[in-house]
Structure 1
Amino acid sequence: MKITDLALVFIMICLPFLIVNEIQLDRLAYISYRNIEIDHIIDTAVEDGVALMLDVDQQGISINQERALDTFLQTLYLNFGLINDNLSKQRIMSYIPVVAIIDYDGLLLYSYTSYTNNSNEKRIEPIWYPKIYYTYNDNARTYYFTLDDYVKVFDMENQTLIEGRRKDLEAKFNDGIIADDQRFDDIRRRAIIQTIEESVGFHINEHNLYASLFGIEYEFMLPVIEKDDWNNTIDDISMLVFIQGLPIGDHGEFYNGYAIGGARIVKDEKYFLQIGDNCIGYYHRSNCIELIDRKLMLDSQKNCALKGYYPCRLCQP
């Protein structure tokens, strides 16, 4: 057999595999692109929702979860091209098992439920559930935490409720978590995360019952949330949205993701950036006597370090 004949045989054998491989690579590239595209759509919608989530007046700051949700959905529908397609809007909603608002003192959840209306008709639709508070019980006291160090303490033996900043309550509690700043913060964070995980996980699992009625063949479950995302979530009033089971391909591929947006109002500590006389950048507390320029600031030491700034040796932030 001539070498040209061997080459033709080789091409005839390998060509189908090369074509199939090229098709698979194109499909994977498309799926990757769609995931990135949907990530951006959801992030943008959450940012818009958070931007209109707060009401600020002389009484203080309050959450307007209805407006936040409406704004989120309008941006979502717009970027998916569904503004005038009510049927597709309802379909998209069925892939959102839960919307969570992490409020200052508790968790607000928007998720599906079933009920019978006044006409004795069974309805399935999403509703806002009552607030779930961030609590911790040590058998003697129940603690109602917030996103900062403000806490309510209910003494079960004396049936009394005391509230205030942790440091201000130290004199009244010489034992337990109030007396230990680090332990207080560790337990507070764990309690908030546990409240979110358990509550959101329950509603996502419950969504499987309703999704099957919508004709969705997908198992909804709480995804793994990165540690940095948890820290961002419990450090500020925020919105957390999950979208799962959204078809994005012809071979059973699904989008499964979440987005978090913070309102940036709980963090009172700000760090100001300034270049020192030695041409090195430092970050300072607001009351540092060396601070002259207050134009640049960040809300965490980590972000300052990522920008290449060092802590001021005088105010020691």
Structure 2
Amino acid sequence: MYIPAIAVIGYDGFYVYAEEEWTGADGHTEQKPVWGAKKPYAYADSTGNSLSFTLDDFVLAYDAISRSWHEGLRADVGQQTNIALLKDAERFEQVRRSTIVRAIEDELAYRINKHNESVSRFGLSYTFTLPTISQEDWNNTVDDVGVLAFIQGIPMGGKFYNNYALGGSRLLKKPEIVGARKGSMKVYYRSTCGFTYPVEETFSSEKAAAQKGYMPLDCPVSPS
């Protein structure tokens, strides 16, 4: 009863784990914590355009003028549509972040209010509230997939214990190792080096490429 809500912040939407009440097949009222449906990071402007944001600049957009849907990176979709927000990278980032934070805050506030109604039936008089979350933590939330959990109202003498935890994770993809043919010589290098030699194989490590007879090729050094 001391955990009013848990939110999982996903790439293109979020889920909330909270108390729900419904009537079962036997006609009795049931109540227990369940996972809700995914809620998108949705935004609509004053001209009827709508956007569904993600944790980066990939976006699903509805262009009200052409009455068409478009999906892709902000810059690409901006060229395909009449949506002004997509043509301004800085404003897009501001709106994207504020939309995600507001969507999560509004849903959590609603769930916590519902939780207050629920626990009052069991005689728990503590009032659960949405805590003030630091801007740094919200920035982490908007940048990474993660979990946000609240615990409140645990009696500790004459006081109550309240806290929240935010755990984020980020997947960093290692550069792929390319095995290619440079003239008569077999060479390998990181895929980020920018070489255009004919590719023969790809590897997950330099060791694997060397074992197949490829020789290392250093990336060109950018002038300072």
Give distance in 2, aligned partners of 1:101 and 1:132: 11
| 1:173-252 equivalences in 2 (<5 Å) | 173=81, 175-247=83-155, 249-251=156-158
2:37 aligned with 1:130, yes or no? yes
1:170 maps to 78
Preserved CA contact (<8 Å) 1:108 1:131 = yes
| 1:8-87 equivalences in 2 (<5 Å) | none
- Counterpart of 1:120 (choices 27, 32, 49) is 27
Per-residue CA distance 1:66-104 (angstroms, 9 max, x = gap): xxxxxxxxxxxxxxxxxxxxxxxxxxxx11111100010
Give the secondary-structure state (helix, strand or coil) at the position aligned to 1:214. coil
Q: CA deviation at 1:170?
A: 2.9
1:58 maps to none
Give the secondary-structure state (helix, strand or coil) at the position aligned to 2:152. strand
Which structure 2 residue ranges, 5 or more long, are not aligned?
176-190, 195-221
Give distance in 1, aligned partners of 2:84 and 2:223: 31
Give distance in 2, aligned partners of 1:315 and 1:268: 26
Tell me the matched-pair count.
181
Give distance in 2, aligned partners of 1:135 and 1:118: 34
1:268 to 1:163, Cα distance in 2 relative to 1, 3 A: farther
1:263 to 1:130, Cα distance in 2 relative to 1, 3 A: same
2:160 aligned with 1:254, yes or no? yes
1:263 maps to 169
1:298 maps to none
Which structure 1 residue ranges, 5 or more long, are not aligned?
1-93, 271-285, 290-313
Normalising by structure 1, we get a TM-score of 0.53
More strand by share: 2
Normalising by structure 2, we get a TM-score of 0.74
Q: CA deviation at 1:165?
A: 0.4
Per-residue CA distance 1:208-249 (angstroms, 9 max, x = gap): 0111123211001100000000001110110000011111x2
Q: CA deviation at 1:250?
A: 2.2
Per-residue CA distance 1:104-135 (angstroms, 9 max, x = gap): 00110110011111111111111111111001
Preserved CA contact (<8 Å) 1:173 1:179 = no
Preserved CA contact (<8 Å) 1:155 1:161 = yes
Counterpart of 2:38, as a letter, is K
1:141 maps to 49
Give distance in 2, aligned partners of 1:176 and 1:108: 30
2:152 aligned with 1:152, yes or no? no
More helix by share: 1
Preserved CA contact (<8 Å) 1:288 1:315 = no
2:218 maps to none
1:219 to 1:269, Cα distance in 2 relative to 1, 3 A: farther
1:180 to 1:241, Cα distance in 2 relative to 1, 3 A: same
Preserved CA contact (<8 Å) 2:63 2:81 = no
